[in-house]
Amino acid sequence: MRKFLITGSILALALPLTACDIVTTQNSATPSGDAQWSDTNVSALREAIDRRAAHGLDHLNFSTQANGQAALTQLALRYASALAHGAADPTKLYDIYTVPRPKTDLRAGLAKALADGKVVDWLESLAPQSDEYRALSKAYLALDKQGRAPAAVIPTTDKPIEPGQNDIRIPVIARQLVASDYLDRAQAGGDRYSAPMVSAVKRMQGDFGIKPDGSIGEDALEILNLSNADRARAIAVAMERTRWLDRNPPATRVDVNLAAARLSYWRDGKLANVRKVVVGEPDTETPQLGSPIYRLVANPTWTVPRSIEEKDFARKGSSYLRRNNMVRKDGWIVQQPGPKNSLGLVKFDMKNEHEIYLHDTPAKQLFAEVQRQRSHGCVRVEDALGFADLLARDAGIIDEWNKARATGKESFVSLPREIPVRLLYQTVLFDDAGDPVVRADPYGWNDAVSVALGFEAGRGSRLRGSGSDVGP
């Protein structure tokens, strides 16, 4: 098993476990009047629970000493719920979580498994069956075999590594920088702390609020460097987040990974397009939503929300408004269509009460950033016009869309079929070989999940918000 490349880290918060919250009926001794807990079924249940490390659930206590029909049933349903829906309820961990979740009749499934004598098979079938989930499981078990000692992959020394120096740690540091997109793979090699690596380290330092001097000291290594325990925690959280998701998502959909700031467009079950996005910065995070795109807006206007007006426009006079093509209408600041509009030239209207949507932006330079958590909460799409053309062409409305754009005025083009969008948060990606790559946790959202899974508090570096952008 290769080593897993890691950037970022995790800081844990104390929150309660909510493993039983999805179990429905709690008052019958057995799942049905006929199905009973035979000695064989009891042994099978205990065998399945003993193997829970394959799902990153080994830090939770599922007491296999339960006796009696009712106690065994509740134990089985609790473990089944953890596999089918997740050990924790994300709607209780986060203020906003509306991503569609799996729905499974666990009591009926358990009754059949008991009657057929297939308790282990049934339990294992409840977990995600994707290649990615299996890769996470394999990586987690491999880390378990290596031990969870807190020793660092990149050892620290009293003196930092300075530009131009040779150091045996440089190849590992370079791999970490490549994994986190700060360094091009072609620029990694040798033991010398080269100029391209110095630039990469400075960018990383700036993103995390460290003085960008290029010196690789304790602070920089803390971002790059995690122990096996930290690594295992991140992978267990990734498995849990995967268990939260519907096992059969819409074949045509848009998935946005907020942690990696990337958009994936799926068409008829196949990945059709991937592009960068800019999402909410820390303190104005983009929430985890399930919300469809229902229309395209050409040449949109932008009505500045009160929160942004109070925070960013309080000291801006009428000359600023004129320069940015803004006017006051009915007590609101409204930016007119045009190249300076903060929504750019296209908006992807979505149905949700949080006023979150995808859109274009005139701030194209932000797509060159590595950590693209820079907005007030909405999602800015790289080459948004190209993405709108792609959706319009697939929907058979490209002519109508082109006419709307040509007007130069705000125009609305409805999609014949809504396109589901999932705004997700996943800090573990996969490299070209299909191996897990643990990246930064820019919002610190892994914290609550890791504690709910029974892990001890970790350590971490948070992304620093820029606070300089006035767009949505």
Which residues are known to be catalytic?
Answer: 359, 378
464 burial type by CB count under 10 A (0-12 exposed, 13-18 middle, 19+ buried): middle
> Dihedral of CA 87/93/99/105: which sign?
positive
Q: Are the C-beta atoms of 56 and 82 separated by less than 8 Å? A: no
B/e letters for 235-246, b = 16+ CB within 10 Å, e = fewer, are bbbbbbbbbbbe
Q: Cα-flanking dihedrals φ and ψ of residue 50, to 5°?
A: -65, -25
Tokens 């929504």: give the residue: 343
Q: What is the DSSP string of 42-76?
A: HHHHHHHHHTGGGGT-TTS---TT--SHHHHHHHH
Taking the C-alpha atoms of residue 223 and residue 462, their distance in angstroms, rounded to an integer, is 9
Rg of the chain taking only CA atoms, in angstroms: 25
Tokens of 31: 């799942």
Report the first-to-last Cα separation within the chain, whole angstroms: 43
- What is the arrangement of strands in the sheet containing 332-335, beginning at the earlier edge strand? 302-303, 332-335, 326-329
- Taking residue 95's Cβ as centre, other Cβ atoms within 10 Å add up to 8
Q: Are the C-beta atoms of 243 and 22 separated by less than 8 Å? A: no
Taking the C-alpha atoms of residue 67 and residue 70, their distance in angstroms, rounded to an integer, is 8
Say if strands 379-381 and 421-424 run parallel, antiparallel, or are unpaired: unpaired
DSSP run (H or E) holding 84 = helix 69-85
Taking the C-alpha atoms of residue 34 and residue 162, their distance in angstroms, rounded to an integer, is 72
3-state secondary structure of 275: strand
Q: What is the DSSP string of 191-235?
A: SB--HHHHHHHHHHHHHTTS--S--B-HHHHHHH---HHHHHHHH
- Taking residue 2's Cβ as centre, other Cβ atoms within 10 Å add up to 10
SS3 percent helix, strand, coil of the chain, rounded to 5, is 35, 15, 50
User: Which among 186, 147, 155, 158 has a CA at the least distance from the CA of 172?
Assistant: 155
